[in-house]
Structure formats: structure tokens, C-alpha cells
């Protein structure tokens, strides 16, 4: 079991957006998060990544198991593709950059400055970062934005290889990646409005 | 950690990184002041310690908002916060990088600017010592201010308003060291207090700044 979430309530801007979210994510499994815009997919992922506290509920995950890929890729424009990736590889304990570059088809671009990459190429670099983290649970927020069909297939292959190696993936996406995965529809977990008895977020706790 | 330091230094010296901006500003301040107050050597010698310290402080201030803002904008700060590096270490390393890029060059050129402002000969060694001892505090206090304002659009002015009062003790004791040194008086007390401010800020503020960043990332 790589991750277990029980009865989780997450809040954005002081108002709960999702409540009672529960799921389990085992090794070799992928879970796709679906739901309309604004339902709280990003908020849920940020909470699971530890960037913001949960309002209620439990998140059980092995320590140092999670790698998070956000909307923004954290790419430095003045560094080359290889330098960008090497920095994150070092931060996560010095894994091999070459394999990640090859996996995301970035070999030809390795020495190019990131400022000169297209949006899709930047995204591929951002996703290559997951490979050098060596973490078990990949959490991805709309990973396929600005990727073309070939790159989406490439990325799906990388995720499949990660799952086959005992990893797991939590993906918020609107498109079909072609990965065998369970789908978690977040719409039923939409939080009640505060006036209807919904919970307020942790942000307001000082004022209560 | 070393890779973060290397990356930050690299980013600062490459195109658009802002390296030398503070230095150029410091230089301009020291050149402009004699034009403004007149060239009498006695007047200049009297105000030199204060002007040099105020100049150093303002040039430090100039580059503060870059410490975290750039990383926040491109999403690196989120990713750093979820990486195995503790946020406290990230803050400490980034303050160190800021000092190496901004503070250290100021220390190095300060004797030349002392010459422009007719600083008394006995004061040079204390100018270098006080800046070397005081500018690390400016960087780490600044990093704390930058952490408080990270995520605010155009938070630069607010950052200055927050940080300048916190800079006062460093400025007062730093300038006092140079003033006394230039007059040939004992500098032990202001020097000790300056060292205490630096040591205290280095020890405590990375924790405060890390906490502020965690709150701002929510």
C-alpha cells in the first residue's frame, strides 16, 4: 500500500472544497482524478503533497515517497535542459539524468537553454523531473497540458514503466491516457457550502 | 544543498540575473553624494561612514525580492518545498547566495568608495571589517522579509517597508564602528553588538523565513 487517504477534507482560500475523500493507492496502481473545473483537484493534490494542511481526515503515506508535479514546471530559462534536470537529480540524491532525458525524448535538446524550448518541450522536461526523483508515488496535476499526441503516448509509456517497477501514480487529468487505471470522480465529494453546515478551512481557525 | 547554491550563483551571474546591480548602485550613491554636499574634504570625511553604510544597505535592499519571487513565479518554490531539502536549509542557502552575489562585492569595493568620500585612513580597516560582519545580517534579514512577501504581486515596496526598520540596528552599529575607527577610538562595543546581531539573525531567521514560506505557499 503506497498511499491511503481517509475521510479527507481540503480547503482552498478558507472554504472547504472537497470533503470525505477516501481512496487507497496500491503499488503498481494508477488513480485518475476527474471532476469539473474548480472541484478541487489541484487543492487535493497540493494537500497530499504536503504543501497545505488538510482540514480533516488522514493521509497515510510512507515518508519520502511522494513526488509532485504541479501546473508550473519550475524550469529556469537560463539553464540548459540537462542543467535543469541535474539540479533536481542532485536535490533528490543524485540519480542519473541521462536515462530520464532519453525516456522523455529530450536527448537532442539536452544542451539547449530552457528559454528556447516550446511549451510542450518544457512540459516534457518538467515530467522528466519525476524520473530523477526516484520516488514511488507520482502525483501529477494535468500532466498532458500542451503535449502532442506522440508525447502523450511517450508519457503514458513512462508512467506504465513506473507502475511496472512497483510505483504508483495519482493523476488529475481530463483526457484518456491509455493507462489501465481506476477513475475517482470527485464530484460526489464536493463540500457543502459553509452556510449549509460545511467546514471552514484551516485559514480561518484563528478567527473562530 | 551545494547544488542549490551552485544553481543560485549561476542564475545570478548569467544574463538577467541581477549580479552587479547592487554594486553599481552602491558606486553611484558614493559618487553622487560628493556632488550633492560639495567637495569639502572635512565634510565628506565626517559623513563618509554613514553614507557608505546607508549605500551598502540600500544596494542590498535592491535585490531582495529576487531571492524567492523568481522561484515562486516559475513554480520552483513549490517543488523545492516538496523536495527532500528542508525549507530552513533552502532559506539559509539562498541567503548565502544573495550575500555572495551582493554583500561580498560591496565589501570588496568599499575601500575604493571610502577614498571617493575622503574617509580617514584609520577607518578603512574598520569599514571592511564592519561590512564583512554586517552584510550577512542584511542578507538573512532580507531573506526573511522576502519570505513574508513571497507570492504578493509587486511586493517590492512592501518588502522595503518591512525590512528597512529591521535593518536599523545593523546600520547604527555598523556605521558606529567605522565612525569610531576613523577617529581612532575603541570600536569593541559596537563591533561586538554588530557581531551579535549577525549571529542572532543567522541562527533564528532561517526558521522564521521557512515558516513564512510554508504559510505563503498554502
Interface predicted TM-score of the whole assembly (ipTM), two decimals: 0.86
Q: Which of A44, A63, A77, A123 to mutate to test the interface with B (most CBs of B within 10 A)?
A: A77
CB atoms closer than 10 angstroms to residue B159? 23
Fold designation for A28-53+62-188: Rossmann fold (3.40.50)
Tell me if residue A169 falls in helix, strand or coil.
strand
Q: What pLDDT is attached to residue B93?
A: 94
Kindly report, residue by residue over B171-188, the tens digit of the pLDDT.
999 999 999 999 889 889
Instruction: Find the helix or strand (DSSP H, E) in which A184 lies.
Output: strand A182-185
Identity of the residue in B15, B77, B84 whose CB atom sits nearest the CB atom of A91: B84
Nearest to A82 by CA among A113, A37, A54, A104: A113
Chain A residues close to B81, C-beta within 8 Å: 50-51
Q: Is A68 in CB contact (< 8 Å) with chain B?
A: yes
Q: Determine the distance in angstroms separating the CA of B183 from the nearest CA of chain A, rounded to an integer.
A: 48
Helix B156-182 to helix B41-62 angle, to the nearest 10 degrees? 150
Q: What pLDDT is attached to residue A200?
A: 63
Tell me if residue A15 falls in helix, strand or coil.
strand
Answer yes or no: do B3 and A90 touch at CB < 8 A: yes
CA B157/CA A127 separation, integer angstroms? 36
On whether the CB atoms of residues A189 and A17 are closer than 8 A, the answer is no
Residues with Cβ within 8 Å of A108's Cβ and at least 6 positions away in sequence, in order, are: none
Q: Which of A87, A119, A206 to mutate to test the interface with B (most CBs of B within 10 A)?
A: A87
On whether the CB atoms of residues B60 and B106 are closer than 8 A, the answer is yes
Domain boundaries in chain A? 28-53+62-188
Identity of the residue in A68, A78, A92 whose CB atom sits nearest the CB atom of B16: A78
What is the residue-level pLDDT of chain B in tens, covering all 218 positions? 788 888 888 888 876 666 778 888 999 998 898 899 888 888 888 899 999 999 999 999 988 888 888 889 888 999 999 888 899 999 999 999 999 998 999 999 999 999 888 888 888 999 999 999 999 999 999 999 999 999 888 778 889 999 999 999 999 999 999 999 998 898 899 999 999 999 999 999 999 999 999 998 88
How many CB pairs (< 8 A) connect A and B?
70
Identity of the residue in B3, B4, B82 whose CB atom sits nearest the CB atom of A50: B82
Mark the ranges of chain A whose per-residue pLDDT is less than 50. Answer: 204-208
Q: Is B215 in CB contact (< 8 Å) with chain A?
A: no
Q: What chain B residue is nearest to A67 in terms of C-alpha separation?
A: B82
Kindly report, residue by residue over A17-56, the tens digit of the pLDDT.
888 888 888 888 889 988 888 888 899 999 998 888 888 8
On whether the CB atoms of residues B144 and B65 are closer than 8 A, the answer is no
Q: What chain A residue is nearest to B77 in terms of C-alpha separation?
A: A74
Q: Identify the bridge partners of residue A58 per DSSP, sorted by sequence position.
A: A6
On whether the CB atoms of residues A43 and A114 are closer than 8 A, the answer is no
Chain A residues close to B74, C-beta within 8 Å: 72-77
The count of residues in chain A is 208
CA B9/CA B15 separation, integer angstroms? 12
- Angle at the Cα of A50 from the Cα atoms of A49 and A52, rounded to 5 degrees: 115
Amino acid at each position: 500500500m503506497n498511499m491511503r487517504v481517509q475521510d479527507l477534507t481540503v480547503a482552498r482560500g478558507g472554504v472547504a472544497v472537497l470533503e470525505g475523500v477516501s481512496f487507497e493507492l496500491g503499488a503498481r496502481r494508477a488513480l485518475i482524478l476527474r471532476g469539473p473545473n474548480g472541484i478541487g483537484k489541484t487543492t487535493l493534490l497540493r494537500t497530499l503533497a504536503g504543501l497545505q494542511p488538510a482540514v480533516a481526515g488522514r493521509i497515510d503515506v510512507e515518508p519520502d515517497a511522494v513526488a509532485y508535479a504541479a501546473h508550473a514546471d519550475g524550469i529556469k530559462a537560463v539553464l540548459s535542459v540537462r542543467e535543469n534536470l541535474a539540479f533536481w537529480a542532485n536535490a533528490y540524491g543524485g540519480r542519473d539524468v541521462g536515462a530520464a532525458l532519453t525516456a522523455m525524448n529530450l536527448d537532442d535538446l539536452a544542451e539547449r537553454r530552457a528559454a528556447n524550448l516550446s511549451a510542450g518541450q518544457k512540459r516534457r522536461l518538467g515530467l522528466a523531473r519525476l524520473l530523477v526523483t526516484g520516488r514511488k508515488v507520482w502525483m501529477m496535476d494535468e500532466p498532458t497540458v500542451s503535449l502532442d499526441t506522440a508525447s502523450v503516448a511517450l508519457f503514458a509509456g513512462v508512467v506504465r514503466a513506473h507502475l511496472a517497477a512497483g510505483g504508483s501514480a495519482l493523476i488529475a487529468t481530463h483526457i484518456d491516457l491509455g493507462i489501465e487505471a481506476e477513475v475517482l470522480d470527485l464530484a460526489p465529494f464536493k463540500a457543502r457550502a459553509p452556510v449549509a453546515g460545511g467546514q471552514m478551512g484551516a485559514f480561518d481557525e484563528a478567527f473562530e | 544543498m551545494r547544488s542549490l547554491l551552485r544553481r543560485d550563483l549561476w542564475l545570478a551571474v548569467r544574463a538577467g540575473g541581477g549580479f552587479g546591480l547592487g554594486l553599481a548602485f552602491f558606486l553611484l550613491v558614493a559618487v553622487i553624494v560628493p556632488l550633492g554636499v560639495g567637495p569639502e574634504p572635512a565634510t565628506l570625511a565626517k559623513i563618509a561612514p554613514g553614507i557608505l553604510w546607508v549605500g551598502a544597505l540600500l544596494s542590498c535592499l535592491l535585490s531582495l525580492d529576487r531571492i524567492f519571487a523568481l522561484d515562486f513565479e516559475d513554480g520552483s518554490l513549490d517543488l523545492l518545498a516538496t523536495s527532500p531539502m528542508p525549507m530552513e536549509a533552502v532559506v539559509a542557502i539562498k541567503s548565502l547566495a544573495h550575500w555572495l552575489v551582493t554583500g561580498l562585492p560591496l565589501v570588496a569595493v568599499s575601500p575604493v568608495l571610502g577614498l571617493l568620500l575622503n574617509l580617514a585612513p584609520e577607518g578603512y580597516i574598520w569599514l571592511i571589517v564592519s561590512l564583512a560582519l554586517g552584510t550577512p545580517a542584511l542578507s538573512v534579514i532580507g531573506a526573511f522579509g522576502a519570505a513574508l512577501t513571497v507570492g504578493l504581486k509587486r511586493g517590492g515596496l512592501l518588502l522595503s517597508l518591512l525590512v528597512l526598520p529591521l535593518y536599523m540596528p545593523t546600520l547604527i552599529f555598523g556605521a558606529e564602528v567605522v565612525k569610531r575607527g576613523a577617529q581612532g577610538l575603541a570600536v569593541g562595543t559596537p563591533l561586538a553588538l554588530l557581531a551579535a546581531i549577525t549571529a542572532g539573525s543567522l541562527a533564528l531567521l532561517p526558521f522564521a523565513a521557512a515558516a513564512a514560506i510554508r504559510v505563503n505557499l498554502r
